[in-house]
C-alpha cells in the first residue's frame, strides 16, 4: 500500500500524465508532475483534437502490410518508413505484420473500445465540472470520399462498427452531404457522418489542464528529466531528477513515445516506435468547414476551431528524427486541396510534428511495470491518446490506490508482450 504522506510522481506532462495527475489528486493524494521539457509540449500539443470513439478499428487491418510496403515505394504516400538497420524496428514491424488479420484487429478494437467510450463520458464531466477553455464541440466527424467505389466500400466497415461496437455512421450523398458541409468541393462521392464524436483544441486543453492541476495543488516541475529510480522500501521510491532527488510513494510513467528511452531507469523496455505526424495551424479560412473532416483517400484530417483551423496527418517511422520535412508538410495541403473549396489560409501560425507512441498491437500499455510494483506504466496510446486520456488517468488512479477499476485492466497489461 502507498505511503500517502509522500507524493505520487507522474513522469511526463502530456495529456496522459495530465489525466493521471487529475484523477490521482481527486483521491486526496499529493501529486508531483515532472517533464523533461515544458508541460503539454510533446505529442499532445498540436494534434488534430479528435475525441473519436469512431476510430475504434486499429491500424492492424487485413492488408495493412501490403499498403505499408506500397506506401514505402511512393514518395507522396502519407505512410512512410525510413529504412535503416534497426533490429527493434524490424521486430516491431514483424509483430505488427503478424497481427494484420481480422481476428487480431477485432481483439485490438475490443480492447480500446472501453477506453474510448469511458473517456467520452469523462470528457463531458470534465467540460461541465472543470470548465476547461478548449473549444470543446460535439459536432461529430465526417469521413469524405472522392471515389464512389471507396465510398461504397466503407459500408462494410460501417456495418462492422455498427454490429460489433454500436458506432454507426450516417451515409450522406448529393445535397445531404453539401447541406451538412458546404465547404466541400462539388463532385465528391459521399461521406459517412459519426455524430457521436467530439473535438477540442489540444493546445488550449493542455494549458487549461495545467491551470486546473496547479489550482488543485499539483506541483509541476518543468525542464526536469527523470534520470533514475531507486526502490527504497515497499512503500517508497527515490526519484533522481535534473532538479535533485524526490522521495515518492509511487511512480507513474507517462512518457509517451520516449518511453523506450527510459528502459535503463525502470528495468523494462516498452515496445514502442515513434510514429511521426505533422500538423499546420492557421486562421480560419473564409469558407471554413463547419465540422471536423477526414479524407481517408489522402489521410488528411481537418479540424475547424472557433479560434483557428488545423490540417494534420501522415505517419512516418523515421525514429526520433527531429526535422520538419517540407515535402511531408506539403502532403497536408495537397491532401486537403482535393476536397475543400478553401483548403488553407495564411499565415501559417504553427508547423509542427509529434511522435505518436505506437505499439504493434495498437493497444495502450497501462499497468504495473514488470518487476517494479511501485511503478505504473501509462503509455502507448498510438493515434488516440487524446481520445483515451481521461479513462486512462482514472484507471491508473484506481490501480495506484487499489480501488475497484472502472474498466477491466487486463487487455492493457505490460505483461502481454
Ligand atoms: C499529427 C497528429 C495528430 C493526432 N491527432 C489525434 C487526435 O485527433 N485524437 C487523438 O486522440 N490523438 C491524436 N494524436 C495522438 C496523440 O497526440 C498522442 O497519442 C498523445 O498525445 C500521446 O500523449 P502522451 O501524454 O502519451 O505523450 P506526450 O504528449 O508526448 O507526453 C509525454 C511527455 O513525457 C515527457 N518525458 C519523456 N521522457 C521524460 C523524462 N525522462 N523525464 C521527464 N519527462 C519526460 C515528454 O517531454 C512529454 O512531454 C495525434 C498525433 C499526431 C502526431
Stated length of the chain: 417
Q: Is 380 in the pocket of ligand 1 (CB under 6 A)?
A: no
Question: Is this prediction's pTM over 0.95?
Answer: yes
Q: In the chain, which residues have pLDDT < 70?
A: 1-3, 69, 71-76, 78
CA distances from 44 to 41, 205, 273, 390 (A): 7, 9, 16, 13
Cα–Cα distance between 390 and 398 in angstroms, integer?
Answer: 12
378 ligand 1 Cβ < 6 A: no
Sole residue written with cell 515535402:
327
User: Residue 334's CB: how many other CB atoms inside 10 A?
Assistant: 12
Is any ligand 1 atom within 6 A of the Cβ of residue 352? no
Closest listed residue to residue 367, CA positions, set 401, 395, 403: 395
* Ligand 1 contact via 279 beta carbon (within 6 Å): yes
* Rounded Cα distance, 52 and 230, in Å: 39
Residue to mutate, 10, 14, 22, ligand 1, most ligand atoms under 8 Å from C-beta? 14
Q: Are the C-beta atoms of residues 353 and 275 closer than 8 Å to each other?
A: no
Sequence-ordered strand ranges (E) for 254-402: 272-282, 293-295, 300-305, 308-317, 350-359, 365-369, 372-379
> How many angstroms separate the CA atoms of 310 and 283, rounded?
8
Chain CA centroid to CA 239, Å: 27
Q: Name the fold adopted by 8-44+204-270+362-416.
A: FAD/NAD(P)-binding domain (3.50.50)
Q: Where are the domains of the chain?
A: 8-44+204-270+362-416, 61-101+136-196+272-359
Looking at ligand 1, which residue's alpha carbon is closest to its atom 19? 385
CATH number of 61-101+136-196+272-359: 3.30.9.10
C-alpha cell read off for 282: 492557421
CA distance 279 to 88: 27
**Ligand 1 atom at shortest distance from the alpha carbon of 278:** 1
Residue 75's pLDDT is what? 65
Alpha carbon nearest to ligand 1 atom 33, residue:
12
Residue 11 Cβ < 6 Å to ligand 1 = yes
Find residue 365's DSSP bridge partners: 379
Best mutation site among 385, 389, 393, 396 for ligand 1, i.e. most ligand atoms within 8 A of its Cβ?
385
Question: Could you tell me the three cell numbers for 6?
Answer: 509522500
Q: What is the DSSP string of 334-363?
A: HHHHTTBSS---SS--EEEEEEEEEETTS-
Residue 83, pLDDT score: 79
**What distance in angstroms lies between residue 94's CA and the mean position of ligand 1's atoms?**
24
Ligand 1 centroid vs 150 CA: distance in angstroms?
31
Sequence-ordered list of residues with C-beta below 8 angstroms from that of 371, at least 6 positions apart, any chain: 267, 268
Amino acid at each position: 500500500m502507498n505511503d500517502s504522506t509522500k507524493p505520487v510522481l507522474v513522469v511526463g506532462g502530456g495529456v496522459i500524465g495530465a489525466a493521471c495527475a487529475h484523477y490521482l489528486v481527486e483521491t486526496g493524494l499529493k501529486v508531483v508532475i515532472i517533464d523533461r521539457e515544458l508541460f503539454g509540449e510533446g505529442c499532445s500539443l498540436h494534434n488534430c483534437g479528435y475525441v473519436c470513439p469512431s476510430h475504434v478499428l486499429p491500424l492492424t487491418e487485413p492488408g495493412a502490410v501490403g499498403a505499408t510496403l506500397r506506401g514505402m515505394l511512393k514518395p507522396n504516400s502519407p505512410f512512410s518508413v525510413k529504412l535503416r538497420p534497426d533490429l527493434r524496428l524490424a521486430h516491431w514491424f514483424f509483430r505488427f505484420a503478424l497481427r494484420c488479420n481480422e481476428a487480431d484487429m477485432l481483439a485490438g478494437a475490443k480492447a480500446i473500445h472501453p477506453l474510448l467510450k469511458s473517456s467520452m463520458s469523462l470528457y463531458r464531466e470534465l467540460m461541465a465540472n472543470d470548465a476547461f477553455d478548449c473549444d470543446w464541440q460535439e459536432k461529430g466527424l465526417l469521413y469524405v470520399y472522392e471515389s464512389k467505389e471507396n465510398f461504397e466500400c466503407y459500408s462494410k466497415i460501417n456495418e462492422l462498427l455498427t454490429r460489433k461496437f454500436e458506432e454507426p455512421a450516417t451515409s450522406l450523398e448529393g445535397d445531404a452531404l453539401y447541406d451538412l458541409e458546404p465547404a466541400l468541393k462539388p463532385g465528391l462521392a459521399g461521406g459517412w457522418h459519426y455524430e457521436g464524436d467530439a473535438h477540442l483544441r489540444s493546445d488550449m486543453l493542455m494549458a487549461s489542464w495545467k491551470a486546473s492541476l496547479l489550482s488543485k495543488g499539483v506541483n509541476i516541475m518543468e525542464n526536469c528529466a527523470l534520470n533514475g529510480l531507486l526502490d527504497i522500501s515497499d512503500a517508497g521510491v527515490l526519484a533522481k531528477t535534473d532538479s535533485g532527488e524526490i522521495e515518492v510513494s509511487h511512480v507513474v510513467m507517462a512518457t509517451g513515445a520516449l518511453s523506450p528511452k527510459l528502459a535503463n531507469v525502470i528495468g523494462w523496455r516498452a515496445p514502442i516506435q515513434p510514429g511521426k505526424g505533422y500538423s499546420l495551424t492557421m486562421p480560419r479560412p473564409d469558407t471554413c468547414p463547419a465540422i471536423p473532416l477526414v479524407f481517408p483517400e489522402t489521410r488528411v484530417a481537418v479540424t475547424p476551431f472557433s479560434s483557428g483551423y488545423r490540417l494534420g496527418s501522415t505517419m512516418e517511422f523515421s525514429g526520433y528524427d527531429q526535422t520538419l520535412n517540407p515535402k511531408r508538410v506539403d502532403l497536408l495541403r495537397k491532401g486537403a486541396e482535393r476536397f475543400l473549396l478553401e483548403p488553407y489560409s495564411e499565415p501559417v501560425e504553427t508547423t509542427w510534428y509529434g511522435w505518436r507512441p505506437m505499439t504493434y498491437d495498437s493497444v495502450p500499455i497501462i499497468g504495473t511495470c514488470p518487476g517494479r510494483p511501485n511503478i505504473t506504466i501509462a503509455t502507448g496510446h498510438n493515434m488516440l491518446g487524446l481520445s483515451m486520456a481521461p479513462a486512462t488517468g482514472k484507471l491508473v488512479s484506481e490501480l495506484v490506490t487499489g480501488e475497484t477499476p472502472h474498466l477491466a485492466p487486463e487487455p492493457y497489461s505490460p505483461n502481454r508482450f
